[in-house]
Chains A and B, each alone.
Chain A
Amino acid sequence: MTKSLPPKHLVLYADDDTDDHALIREAFDEFSSLIELITFVDGVELLRYIESLAPLQPQPCLIILDVNMPLLDGKQTLRRLREMEEFKAIPVVLFTTSTLPSEIAFAKAYDAGFVTKPLHARQIHLLVDQFVEHCSDDIKENIKRQRGK
């Protein structure tokens, strides 16, 4: 009997800084059997990808957006996502270096989370938890189970 593996949870991440791509990829590495991370260099690329998803394809469980990107920045991308009926409920996190009250308020207004980019190693360990906190309960449970292994 063949047993098919359940599809991985899809996490999308848009950031023009490829050093940060590597950082996030490393942070999610521990959960690579559960999570597939797909990276983009700006909001346009990310929107093009999700618009191309077929109706029966798994939807992303989380979208992480850098705030300052060329072509379409994180805030513009978030606004567009919230205007799209099929994606308006997907958890989104704005991921940025500066903790500005106006950015936090913007994220809140568009029902998104807000995570500050880490400055050093100790903060990196908290990153996945900070992201996953915005995911659905079953994903949180899967992550917790994976950690317990």
Chain B
Amino acid sequence: MTKKAIGLSEYNELSQDQQFEMVHHDGVYVGKRKVGKQIVVLFQLYGFYVEVYYKHYRKHVDHTITSDSTDILQPYIDQIQVGSIGNNPEK
């Protein structure tokens, strides 16, 4: 497992296992929210974001959404501490 920072397009080409490993190892927790009954967790990974939609929280991932736009932060804005993004917003 490489520790080198990668870009969004390179990340999207990785296998799902490699993506999960990378988020688990290098992702920085941004926030958590509920969409209906589904729990969704947003991570910052290097210069982009990975939103994980769970079928069963921390067990079965339904799908993930990636984006390099800060628009993805909008639903989490109340959970973000000033200065935390890219710094230290661990959960």
Nearest B residue to A97, CB-CB: B29
Nearest B residue to A68, CB-CB: B91
Nearest A residue to B20, CB-CB: A119
Nearest A residue to B87, CB-CB: A100
Contact segment of A37-45, A47-55, A120-128, A130-138: A120-128
Instruction: Write the nearest CB–CB distance from B86 to chain A, whole angstroms.
Output: 11
- Residue of A19, A23, A67, A118 near B24 (CB, 8 A) is A118
Contact B25 A99 (CB under 8 A): yes
CA distance A67 to B61 in the complex (A): 24
Within 8 Å CB of B68, what residues of A? none
Contact B58 A124 (CB under 8 A): yes
Contact A100 B58 (CB under 8 A): no
Contact B39 A98 (CB under 8 A): no
Nearest A residue to B88, CB-CB: A100
- Residue interface mask B9-44, A partner, CB < 8 A = 1: 000000000001001111111001000000101010
What's the dominant secondary structure at chain B's contact region?
mixed
Nearest A residue to B60, CB-CB: A121
Which of under 10, 10 to 19, 20 to 34, or 35 or more describes the interface residues of B?
20 to 34
Within 8 Å CB of A118, what residues of B? 24, 58
CB neighbors of B among A13-34 (8 A): 17, 19-20, 23
Residue with the greatest number of chain B CB neighbours at <10 A, chosen from A67, A116, A119, A124 = A119
- Residue interface mask B57-86, A partner, CB < 8 A = 1: 111110000000000000000000000000
Contact B90 A23 (CB under 8 A): no
CA distance A67 to B43 in the complex (A): 16
- Residue of A17, A23, A66 near B32 (CB, 8 A) is A17
- By a beta-carbon cutoff of 8 Å, the part of chain A in contact with chain B is 17, 19-20, 23, 66-68, 96-100, 102-103, 116-121, 123-124
A-B contact pairs, 10 of them (CB 8 A): A19-B39, A23-B57, A67-B90, A96-B90, A97-B43, A97-B91, A98-B27, A99-B25, A121-B59, A124-B59
